[in-house]
């Protein structure tokens, strides 16, 4: 008799033979068969050929209810008519010019109106670029090089963002870079204060995602973000919020929810309407360093910065995301998280979610999840269970991140959220005998 993991894998292989064949072709020209680490999962990812509304269709014709939405960027789901029409109207006029464009101003005005701390903004092409340039602005403004960031946080793929405090894990990152990076655990104000007290003359700023999405959504404790703001002021360093993901949680981003104003904000994902985008902005005196008319400006170019279709679709994305719609999908996120929690409880399996608004993360552990170390501890204890849950959900038509991340788009309805909860419940029951055998500590007492 086949084991449960064997049954799940065999079913996946049966459903996706065309994706398997195309993976073999892809591996001849792409390392591993793709160009994006975060979308890989074993035995191979399904190739998607169409997205419409809340659903994806793969090469073999399987349909999936999408709770990944290109890692939160497609807040309006796939092929939203308003966003497509905005891009279509712009494209006949040209795509990218070596000149300013009206749509850049219009999207910049929207961002400055919505995000409380943003007085001036610059566009780039990814969240990676946005955090990289915000860090550069911070260093230029302060005249210092050090950056304090949270252990286990994700801020993109540039060297500073990808660097950890484990040199063995940082292949390709120069050793010399590490002397300008300082690490603290998320939610640990005392550690931040100690580092700043010892290295204030070296540190330019604090880089933090106010709610670390890729870090597993540990929630900031009461007064944590306000405490960071106070420490930044006390030690004369800048505070950078990475709101590439969390901008979706409120018209003004998480900073408006927390009522904590950073000096600089990195943005991306939802502001591009489904196209590649990044932006960074904040205090006009800091952003003035990018003014090319001034003496010795920070150089910031990019062939596709402010791409016309991106700007047009981004405007449509924000115009179709008023606070009332944000509140609605945040409420659906509450329902999804509560339903997943109930599913673990009803199945008698140790597990829970952390969530904020429309962002939800599944954990295979109980107790407080205060930081990314707590998140990692849960994943280590769970072994192959996150992988098996993800693969079986794919077999049942639910699309999410392999690490257990879910998010809600504006095109998802109550019934679809209920369907996802039911499917997770059924999948946990399927996995329970395997869990009891291999991970008995995860069977609830």
Note the pLDDT tens digit of each residue in 403-412: 999 999 999 9
- CA 417-421-422 angle, 5° bins: 115
Which band of pLDDT confidence, cut at 50, 70 and 90, is reported for residue 152? very high
Q: What is the pLDDT of the chain when averaged over all its residues? A: 97
For residue 167, pLDDT beyond 90: no
CA 255 from chain centre, in angstroms, equals 16
Q: Is CATH 3.40.640.10 the right assignment for the domain spanning 81-319?
A: yes
The residue-averaged pLDDT of 259-287 equals 98
Percent residues over pLDDT 90 in the chain:
96
- Residue 309 CA, chain-centre distance (Å), reads 23
Neighbours of 75 (CB within 10 A): 28
Nearest Cα residue to 203 out of 234, 177, 238: 238
In this prediction, residue 176 carries a pLDDT of 85
Do 280 and 241 meet the contact criterion of CB atoms below 8 Å apart? Answer: no
CATH class of 4-78+322-442: alpha beta
d(C-alpha 281, C-alpha 73), whole Å: 19
Query: Is it the case that residue 166 has pLDDT exceeding 90?
Result: no
What pLDDT does 170 receive? 85
Q: How confident is the model at residue 297 (pLDDT cuts 50, 70, 90)?
A: very high
| CATH 3.90.1150.10 residue spans of the chain | 4-78+322-442
- Render pLDDT for 101-131 as a digit per residue (tens, 0 to 9): 999 999 999 999 999 999 999 999 999 999 9
Instruction: Return the pLDDT at 165.
Output: 84
**Cα four-point dihedral sign 283, 319, 243, 312:** negative
pLDDT tens-place string over residues 204-258: 999 999 999 999 999 999 999 999 999 999 999 999 999 999 999 999 999 999 9
Within the chain, all domains assigned CATH 3.40.640.10 are found at 81-319
Catalytic residues: 154, 242, 269
User: CA 302 to CA 294: how far, in whole Å?
Assistant: 19
């Amino acid at each position: 008799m086949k084991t449960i993991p064997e049954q799940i894998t065999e079913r996946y292989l049966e459903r996706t033979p065309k994706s398997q064949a195309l993976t073999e072709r892809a591996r001849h020209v792409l390392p591993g068969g793709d160009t994006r680490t975060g979308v890989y999962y074993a035995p191979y990812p399904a190739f998607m050929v169409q997205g419409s509304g809340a659903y994806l269709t793969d090469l073999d014709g399987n349909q999936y209810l999408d709770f990944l939405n290109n890692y939160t960027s497609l807040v309006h789901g796939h092929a939203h008519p308003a966003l497509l029409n905005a891009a279509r109207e712009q494209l006949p006029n040209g795509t990218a010019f070596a000149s300013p464009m009206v749509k850049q101003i219009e999207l910049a005005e929207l961002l400055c109106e919505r995000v409380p701390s943003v007085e001036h903004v610059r566009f780039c092409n990814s969240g990676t670029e946005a955090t990289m340039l915000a860090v550069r602005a911070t260093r230029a403004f302060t005249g210092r090089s050090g950056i304090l960031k949270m252990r286990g946080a994700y801020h993109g793929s540039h060297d500073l963002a990808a660097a950890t405090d484990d040199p063995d894990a940082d292949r390709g990152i120069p050793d010399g870079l590490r002397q300008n990076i300082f690490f603290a655990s998320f939610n640990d104000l005392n550690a931040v204060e100690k580092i700043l007290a010892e290295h204030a003359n070296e540190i330019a700023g604090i880089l933090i995602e106010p709610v670390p999405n890729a870090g597993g959504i540990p929630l900031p404790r009461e007064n944590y973000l306000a405490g960071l703001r106070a420490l930044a002021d006390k030690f004369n360093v800048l505070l950078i919020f990475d709101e590439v993901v969390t901008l979706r949680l409120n018209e003004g981003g998480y900073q408006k929810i927390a009522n904590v104003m950073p000096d600089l904000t990195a943005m991306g994902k939802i502001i591009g309407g489904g196209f590649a985008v990044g932006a960074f902005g904040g205090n006009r005196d800091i952003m003035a360093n990018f003014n090319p008319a001034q003496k010795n400006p920070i150089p910031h170019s990019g062939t596709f910065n402010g791409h016309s279709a991106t700007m047009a679709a981004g405007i449509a994305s924000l115009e179709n995301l008023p606070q009332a719609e944000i509140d609605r999908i945040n409420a659906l996120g509450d329902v999804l998280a509560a339903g997943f929690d109930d599913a673990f409880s009803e199945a008698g399996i140790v597990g829970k979610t952390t969530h904020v608004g429309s962002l939800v993360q599944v954990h295979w552990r109980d107790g407080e999840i205060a930081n990314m170390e707590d998140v990692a501890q849960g994943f280590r204890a769970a072994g192959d269970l996150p992988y098996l849950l993800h693969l079986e959900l794919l077999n049942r038509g639910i699309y999410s991140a392999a690490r257990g991340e879910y998010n809600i788009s504006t095109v998802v309805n109550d019934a679809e959220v209920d369907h996802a909860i039911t499917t997770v419940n059924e999948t946990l029951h399927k996995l329970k005998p395997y869990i009891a055998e291999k991970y008995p500590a995860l069977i609830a007492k």
